Amino acid sequence: MKGYPKGPLTKIDYENLCKMPEYAERAKTELAKLANIDDSKIEITEGTPEKPTTRSIVNPMPNWKVAGFRSADDMKKFASDITQVKKVKK
């Protein structure tokens, strides 16, 4: 792999990037940001350009689904587990 991946990342991508020292911190930061975005609802505009109507609907493809998680809670748990610093006793 050359450089940090571009575009949306999946759960597997985050797992692999967190194992790579050069990308671990960036992957953890991006995953934490993504997990904290509430995109459960989106606004859509219907009607004509002269008389548009805006309404909120349930987002059919929220971030957690695009990234390959089972639910928003699953993504938040994964993000909190992976971003925790584990101390090793010497």
Q: What is the mean pLDDT of the chain?
A: 89
Count how many domains the chain has: 1
In a domain, 2, yes or no: no
1 assigned to some structural domain? no
Question: Residue range 23-50: average pLDDT?
Answer: 94
Q: What is the pLDDT of residues 40-60, one digit of tens each?
A: 999 999 999 999 999 999 999
**This prediction's pTM:** 0.77
Tell me whether residue 88 is in a domain: no
Residue 88 pLDDT class (50, 70, 90 cuts): very low
- 19 belongs to a structural domain: yes
Domain of residue 77 covers: 11-81
- CA 42-83-7 angle, 5° bins: 50
Q: Indicate the burial class of 67 (C-beta count within 10 angstroms; 0-12, 13-18, 19 or more).
A: buried
**How far is Cα 51 from Cα 69, in angstroms, rounded to an integer?**
38
SS3 of 71, please?
A: coil
Give the pLDDT band (50/70/90) at residue 2.
Answer: confident
- Which alpha helices (H) appear in the chain, and where do they start and end? 11-18, 24-35, 63-66, 72-83
